[in-house]
Amino acid sequence: MSEVDKYRHLLERHPRLFIGNGIDIGSGGDPVVPWAIQIDLPEVLFQIYNQRSPGYSIQFRSVTAATDLPFKDSVLDFVFSSHLLEDFLDWKPVLAEWIRVLKPDGYLIIIIPDRERFLYATQHLGQLPNDAHRHEGHVGELTEATAAMGILPRIDAFTDVSPHDYSILFIGQKQ
């Protein structure tokens, strides 16, 4: 089960988020919706992090795919990413790039691990630590980080999918 599979039912409660053209950054070959344009690592690096069979279809592959999107300004209705932003130490340039491609009224949907809950999961619940994590967040941090970038928060809360869940769901709308 992929990370996005755990949260798909939460996202289905908000179908308007995924109307139109959008991207799934770091989809792992399992896009949040079938029509999302998938952006991920080049094949060699992708295989290191994913156990998916080679039959997946990812439209854009680049080491810098998440930080240098191949789209003009203000052309997408949604940008989605699950469990990728925490791999960046400095979120601001990454978020600025993701917001750049959003249309006004477009949605930014991000799922990240909460720092404290993920630490608890790795120490007490058998979750493996992730050496790729550079900056795990906390509730409210994405609201703070995107406020000056023209994003109005709609949801910034724990997902609480299970008692041992460690993720935060952020949904913001570009003004």
Range of the domain at 35: 3-174
* pLDDT at residue 61 in the model: 62
Supply the DSSP string of 2-51, one letter for each residue.
-HHHHHHHHHHT-GGGGSSSEEEET-TT--SSTTSEEEE--HHHHHHH--
Q: Mind listing the pLDDT tens digit for each residue in 50-106?
A: 555 444 566 656 656 788 999 999 999 999 999 999 999 999 999 999 999 999 999
Structural domain count of the chain: 1
Q: What is the CATH number of the domain that holds 161?
A: 3.40.50.150
